[in-house]
Amino acid sequence: MRTRLVAGNWKMHGSRAENGPRLKAIAQAAPAIAGVECAVCVPFPYLAQAAEALAGSGVALGAQNVSEHEPGAWTGEVCASMLADFGCRYAIVGHSERRQHFGESDRQVAAKFGAALAHGLVPILCVGETLAEREAGRTGEVVGRQLEAVLERAGRQAFAQAVIAYEPVWAIGTGKTATPAMVQEVHALLREQVLPQTRILYGGSVKAANAAALFALPDVDGGLIGGASLVAEEFLAIARAAQRKD
């Protein structure tokens, strides 16, 4: 049985003052949500604050990006061993905002994935199509290509640990959620390429109101939550919706 995972992606939001109460609320409530692993992926400067606030709560810590490089002369980069040093369990790689706005290529995403794994982090590999790609009937081809780049480099066995997040680009931060049928179709396609135990999350405008319908799908193992993860009660409600009903 795959353990459900609900991970918050705070993106570039937060301040020490705002984070404190949010982290405290999550750390207090999450242990009662049996059978669901919660994680928060915070901006780099807040890793230490989050690690301290979440200590002992069972809520995992994650980063939103990781360098593909080992320590060295890479100004402005943060490497996987540093994230591990701060107690991170997860690192998001290949988020569409990084692919779109920072020009990350499939090759680079695969390298980041490898760097995370090499340092004992669990990569959360994001894949997803744009609206134009979906409308052109290219969804399967696009997510297949994004995943294939990682499989070629890291091998299928890497997905014994690694997590995938299917995030249609047109559903991120737009309030438009993919229909359950669309989500299940892509998740099933992805699952064929990885392992039966690989957790495949859905992301894109997930909120408490639509989470249960998405988490009821056979190949959805949780969610990667952006905007809604910034409100502790909303994030916790989504995590509760991920509890298995059987």
**Is residue 94 at the binding interface for ligand PGA, with CB under 6 A as the rule?**
no
Residue 35 three-state SS: coil
Q: Which of 7, 8, 2, 9 is nearest to 35 (CA)?
A: 2
25: part of which helix (H) or strand (E)? helix 16-29
Q: Which of 101, 91, 92, 126 is nearest to 204 (CA)?
A: 126
Among 33, 205, 236, 239, binds ligand PGA (CB under 6 A): 205
Given the residues 97, 129, 167, 234, select the one marked as catalytic: 167
**Is residue 6 at the binding interface for ligand PGA, with CB under 6 A as the rule?**
no
When the beta carbons of 156 and 176 are compared against ligand PGA, the nearer one is: 176
**Is residue 204 at the binding interface for ligand PGA, with CB under 6 A as the rule?**
yes
**Is residue 167 at the binding interface for ligand PGA, with CB under 6 A as the rule?**
yes
Catalytic (active site) residue 95:
yes
Select the span of 101-109, 150-158, 218-226, 237-245 touching ligand PGA (CB under 6 A). 218-226
CA–CA dist 175, 171 (Å, integer): 7
**Is residue 227 at the binding interface for ligand PGA, with CB under 6 A as the rule?**
yes
Q: Which of 154, 93, 147, 97 is nearest to 125 (CA)?
A: 93
Q: Which residues bind to ligand PGA, rule: CB under 6 A?
A: 9, 167, 172-173, 203-206, 224-228
